[in-house]
Amino acid sequence: MFVDMPLEQLRKYQPERHEPADFDAFWERTLAEARQHDLNPVFTEVDMGLTLIRCFDVRYAGFGGHEIRGWLLVPATAEGPLPCVVEYIGYGGGRGLPHDWLTWPAAGWATFVMDTRGQGGGWRTGDTADPVGGNGPQVSGKLTQGVLDPDGYYYRRLYTDGVRAVEAARSHPLVDPARVVVAGGSQGGGSAMAVSALVPDLLFAFIDVPFMTHIRRALEITDENPYGELNQFMRNHRHRIDQVFTTLDYFDGLHFAARNTTPALFSVALLDGVTPASTGFAAYNHYAGPKDIRVWRFNGHEGGQSAQVAEQLKVARDLRTGGRPSSGSENGAAGPSEALRA
């Protein structure tokens, strides 16, 4: 059922942001610390039985110099630098296997898939450990790991890994560093929004049903996991609620959206109980760059799935040839470009 605002209200919903005064300084310091470690990207070509795709097992240094795994996939006939999509993964998932990621290579793009540290046990396997356990109590899962301190919070490491993934992708000779796009859904969508704000010279961002945005409202209107992990934590740590929100405000997608100048295509789903539509629209309406959105009226957290990919491929075709996306809208106004899908 519809559990959020009517669509007419969602289009106008632009809530107050609770932004830390040192938000920019926090992220500048975080990335400066990460870049003290040599990126050291290693691409090892592997035979995965895909005769039309070249597959590279990737390792690079993320947050703290920790080894992050990934895949780089390119069309087998590629000779020159290609546009590249850097993919971020939803909560609980890992990089899986190369044949899970064939859409963009089939469209003539390189694809860099970032494994998610400490995840990959819930669905699609992962291979990257998180050597930082976080201090203090936590609920099972990653959302409360280190949540009492911004410096030790899990998403500080994850978003930094995401920035370094772009840098690693750009280091490969088959990738055109000027044509890099970030993409993801749910946790991956939140990562794409954060990274595209922290790396301001990206070509485009595909942000689907984003997680970790307008977190305060999400905790008021849904108790589905992963947000349910935070609800459970604060239910037991009654006197630390303000401390938790202080940490979360450094990672809320609303603040990344307000700084973001990367052109973007969003998607939300009106029956989404995991990342409610108002949280996605809040980020979209605060988004400072050129933007467009697809609204999936009768879908839940799965969003548009392959139909949303079809929308992205339309945009990518124009990006690949150096033109402006035909489906783009710089003001995000509800109109023909904001297609309502059932």
Q: Which of 245, 308, 259, 252 is nearest to 275 (CA)?
A: 252
End-to-end CA distance of the chain: 14
Q: Active-site residue among 172, 186, 191, 249?
A: 186
- Residue 336's pLDDT is 32
Residue 272 annotated among the catalytic residues of the structure? yes
The gap from C-alpha 262 to its chain's centroid, in whole angstroms, comes to 13
**What CA–CA distance (Å, rounded) separates 22 from 28?**
10
Query: Which tokens sit at 39?
Result: 């990126």
**Exposed/middle/buried for residue 32 (C-beta within 10 Å: 0-12, 13-18, 19+):** exposed
Q: Active-site residue among 249, 252, 272, 292?
A: 272
For 238: left if phi > 0, alpha if psi spans -120 to 50, otherwise beta; the answer is alpha
168, 112 in Cβ contact below 8 A?
yes
- Residue 56's pLDDT is 98
Residue 186 annotated among the catalytic residues of the structure? yes
Q: Cβ neighbours of residue 73 under 8 Å, at least 6 residues apart?
A: 53, 54, 55, 56, 98, 101, 102, 104, 105, 110, 111, 113
Q: Cβ neighbours of residue 8 under 8 Å, at least 6 residues apart?
A: none
Phi, psi of 180 (to 5 degrees): -115, 130
Per domain, the residue ranges of the chain are 7-341
**What CA–CA distance (Å, rounded) separates 29 from 10?**
35
Q: Cβ neighbours of residue 86 under 8 Å, at least 6 residues apart?
A: 112, 114, 162, 165, 166, 169, 180, 181, 182, 183, 195
- Residue 335's pLDDT is 37
Q: What is the pTM of this model?
A: 0.93
CATH number of 7-341: 3.40.50.1820
Q: Active-site residue among 18, 37, 237, 301?
A: 301
Q: What is the pLDDT along the chain (342 residues), one digit of tens a residue?
A: 687 999 999 999 999 999 999 999 999 999 999 999 999 999 999 999 999 999 999 999 999 999 999 999 999 999 889 999 999 999 999 999 999 999 999 999 999 999 999 998 777 888 888 888 766 767 778 999 999 999 999 999 999 999 999 999 999 999 999 999 999 999 999 999 999 999 999 999 999 999 999 999 999 999 999 999 999 999 999 999 999 999 999 999 999 999 999 999 999 999 999 999 999 999 999 999 999 999 999 999 999 999 999 999 999 999 977 655 654 443 333 333 444 433
